[in-house]
């Protein structure tokens, strides 16, 4: 044997076997035990991580190891060094932003998806991934009673985006290119986008990416008398003004369940205005869409028949582990015309013959995960009745919390509760200059640094407001009761110190 052949033989002996089935079995069982124990003890951690910026660099080596380490040593580091820097979104005492549900079904779906680990950009790269996605989004679309045009049998259909931000971006691009095909590319700087000032910042980001002139993003003042919904007259006036100065209105994004206060824009009336003006009408129901699977809440999306696209985040309040953001469109060709490419290296008979869906043409990236598995598992392992009662339970808990706030005259509920978010604040003693904003900031800091609960805030009409968003899968009435006690105790301490 020559030297180089010898090297090769030695190399072959030691070559890494990174996906050995028996090692997977052993290690994955260990990992599942670790995760199950995490959930069992999740309430022992401060909900909001209390570490300082840069804490981790001090705890980890400067470079990657040359030799392998054991799984146990990694898990020990996770316990000692990583978990302290985790904010526990799955804690039952997590009430910040909006929830981001995990569940056994969602977890198993993620696990299976990680196991299969295919990259399903075209139908041929894993026919089941594409076909299951189409079917599951038809299921969910029917559950939400979306109009037929959003289902796959006609010209429309559903696609799972990673996030609501990507969803609004892709429909904005589709709408932009549709209008530019009609009026010519030079009109880009005349295009105008409409939303209320309560729309999510994802829309602004999408406009930046899509090259919409910054001065043509109409952020219309929401109506404080309707819990900050967008008034259709306000929209109508803005559109007329823009048309009169030669601009081209082309996109409206309405929200069902705004991030600040869960305001519901009046879809039917807004949709009519959009339709009259040939505007693409997008509905962002990222958080509240889940609630609309309950018949008693479905009316919040009445008017969705006027929309061109509709989006909800199953990864928020629908027990589907992050990420999973279903988007439905009525005209899938608008998306495809904007986002498709057809390079030689991806050509195949099924795609060429136009017999299949290639979801790569409905999204920004090429590669895509098998996300439909987890949504399918959530729907099958829980069933609609359980999912509906899951949502109802959180809404009832929010009503309960709202009642507790209303009973304590030191506090006020600031906007009417619609879903499972309560917006409230501590009333300032009479002569407070800033109307109590600093007081409520201090209260937020106090409750969050207690580690007992985690909440977030917003500002509406200049008022600093505490947001208490219920929706974590483990939250029960006792957690809500205890959380209210934290507010009361910290408020008493703050008021005493004034």
Ligand X SMILES: *Cc1c(COP(=O)(O)O)cnc(C)c1O
Q: Nearer to ligand X by C-beta: 286 or 491?
A: 286
Question: Residue 257: CA atoms inside 13 Å, Cβ hemisphere, count?
Answer: 27
What's the rounded Cα separation, in Å, for the pair 475 and 96? 13
Complete DSSP assignment for 432-478: -TTTTHHHHHHHHHHHHHTSS-B-EEEEETTEEEEEEE---TT--HH
State yes or no: residue 321 binds ligand X (CB under 6 A). Answer: no
Q: Nearer to ligand X by C-beta: 204 or 488?
A: 204
Q: Which residues contact 375 (CB under 8 A, 6 or more apart)?
A: 109, 136, 140, 160, 314, 320, 324, 326
Q: Which stretch binds ligand X (CB under 6 A): 71-79, 159-167, 367-375, 403-411?
A: 159-167
Q: Nearer to ligand X by C-beta: 164 or 423?
A: 164
* Closest distance to ligand X from the beta carbon of 367 (Å): 18
Question: Residue 162: CA atoms inside 13 Å, Cβ hemisphere, count?
Answer: 11
State yes or no: residue 176 binds ligand X (CB under 6 A). Answer: no
The single residue among 325, 388, 420, 458 that binds ligand X, judged by CB under 6 A, is: 325
- Go through 3-27 and write b for each residue having 16 or more CB atoms within 10 A of its CB, e for each that does not: eeeeeeeeeeeeeeeeeeeeeeeee
* Closest distance to ligand X from the beta carbon of 167 (Å): 8
The single residue among 113, 227, 313, 320 that binds ligand X, judged by CB under 6 A, is: 313
Q: Nearer to ligand X by C-beta: 46 or 99?
A: 99
What's the rounded Cα separation, in Å, for the pair 454 and 97? 9
What's the rounded Cα separation, in Å, for the pair 128 and 370? 9
Structure tokens at 496: 């005493």
What's the rounded Cα separation, in Å, for the pair 216 and 188? 10
Site string for ligand X, 185-214 (x = CB under 6 A): ---------------x-x------------
What's the rounded Cα separation, in Å, for the pair 95 and 45? 15
Coil, strand, or helix at residue 103? coil
Residues in 253-312 at the binding interface with ligand X, rule: CB under 6 A: 255, 257, 259, 284, 286-287
Q: Nearer to ligand X by C-beta: 313 or 338?
A: 313
The alpha-helical segments, DSSP class H, found in 318-371 are: 332-339, 349-352
Q: Nearer to ligand X by C-beta: 422 or 443?
A: 422
Beta bridge mates, 94? 454
**Upstream peptide bond of 432 is cis (omega within 30 degrees of 0):** no
State yes or no: residue 170 binds ligand X (CB under 6 A). Answer: no
Q: Nearer to ligand X by C-beta: 312 or 480?
A: 312
State yes or no: residue 330 binds ligand X (CB under 6 A). Answer: no
* Chain position carrying tokens 């819990």: 227
Beta bridge mates, 328? 158, 310
State yes or no: residue 423 binds ligand X (CB under 6 A). Answer: no
State yes or no: residue 125 binds ligand X (CB under 6 A). Answer: no
Nearest alpha-carbon partner for 15 in 64, 69, 68: 68
* Closest distance to ligand X from the beta carbon of 203 (Å): 8
Q: Which stretch binds ligand X (CB under 6 A): 45-53, 162-170, 229-237, 242-250?
A: 162-170
Are the C-beta atoms of 364 and 338 separated by less than 8 Å? no
Q: Nearer to ligand X by C-beta: 171 or 248?
A: 171
The C-alpha torsion from 283 through 339 and 332 to 213, rounded to 10°, is 40
* Closest distance to ligand X from the beta carbon of 210 (Å): 16
Coil, strand, or helix at residue 254? strand
Site string for ligand X, 71-110 (x = CB under 6 A): ---------------------------x------------
State yes or no: residue 163 binds ligand X (CB under 6 A). Answer: yes
State yes or no: residue 165 binds ligand X (CB under 6 A). Answer: yes
Q: Nearer to ligand X by C-beta: 284 or 358?
A: 284
Q: Nearer to ligand X by C-beta: 287 or 370?
A: 287
Site string for ligand X, 236-255 (x = CB under 6 A): -------------------x
**Interface ranges with ligand X (CB under 6 A):** 98, 163-165, 200, 202, 255, 257, 259, 284, 286-287, 313, 325
């Amino acid at each position: 044997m020559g030297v180089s052949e010898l090297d090769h033989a030695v190399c072959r002996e030691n070559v890494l076997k990174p996906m050995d089935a028996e090692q997977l079995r052993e290690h994955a069982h260990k990992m599942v035990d670790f995760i199950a124990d995490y959930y069992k003890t999740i309430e022992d951690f401060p909900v909001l991580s209390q570490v300082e910026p840069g804490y981790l660099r001090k705890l980890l080596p400067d470079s990657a190891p040359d030799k392998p380490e054991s799984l146990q040593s990694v898990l020990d580091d996770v316990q000692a060094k990583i978990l302290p820097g985790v904010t526990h979104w799955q804690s039952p005492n997590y009430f910040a932003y909006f929830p981001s549900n995990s569940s056994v079904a969602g977890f198993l779906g993620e696990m299976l998806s990680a196991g299969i680990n295919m990259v399903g950009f075209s139908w041929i790269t894993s026919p089941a991934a594409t076909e299951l996605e189409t079917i599951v989004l038809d299921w969910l679309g029917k559950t939400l009673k979306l109009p037929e045009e959003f289902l796959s049998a006609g010209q429309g259909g559903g696609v799972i985006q990673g996030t609501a931000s990507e969803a609004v971006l892709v429909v904005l691009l589709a709408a932009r290119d549709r209008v530019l095909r009609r009026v010519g590319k030079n009109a880009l700087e005349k295009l105008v986008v409409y939303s209320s000032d309560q729309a999510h910042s994802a829309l602004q980001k999408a406009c930046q990416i899509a090259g919409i002139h910054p001065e043509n993003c109409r952020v219309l003042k929401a109506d404080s008398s309707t819990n900050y919904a967008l008034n259709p007259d306000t929209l109508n006036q803005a559109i007329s003004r823009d048309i009169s100065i030669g601009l081209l209105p082309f996109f409206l994004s309405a929200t069902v369940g705004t991030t600040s206060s869960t305001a519901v824009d009046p879809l039917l009336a807004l949709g009519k205005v959009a339709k009259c003006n040939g505007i693409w009408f997008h509905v962002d129901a990222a958080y509240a869409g889940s609630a609309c699977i309950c018949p008693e809440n479905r009316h919040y999306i009445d008017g969705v028949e006027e929309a061109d696209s509709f989006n909800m985040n199953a990864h928020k309040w629908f027990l589907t582990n992050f990420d999973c953001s279903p988007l439905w469109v009525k005209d899938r060709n608008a998306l495809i015309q904007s986002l498709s490419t057809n390079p030689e290296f991806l050509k195949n008979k099924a795609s060429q013959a136009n017999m299949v869906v290639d979801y790569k043409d409905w999204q920004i990236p090429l590669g895509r995960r098998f996300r439909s598995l987890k949504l399918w598992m959530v729907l099958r392992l829980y069933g609609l009745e359980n999912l509906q009662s899951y949502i109802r339970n959180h809404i009832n808990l929010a009503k309960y919390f709202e009642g507790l706030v209303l009973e304590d005259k030191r506090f006020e509920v600031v906007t009417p509760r619609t879903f499972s978010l309560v917006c409230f604040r501590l009333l300032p003693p009479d002569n407070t200059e800033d109307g109590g904003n600093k007081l409520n900031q201090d209260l937020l800091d106090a409750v969050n640094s207690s580690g007992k609960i985690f909440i977030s805030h917003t500002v509406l009409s200049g008022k600093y407001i505490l947001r208490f968003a219920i929706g974590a899968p483990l939250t029960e009435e006792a957690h809500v009761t205890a959380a209210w006690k934290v507010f009361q105790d910290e408020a008493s301490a703050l008021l005493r110190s004034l």
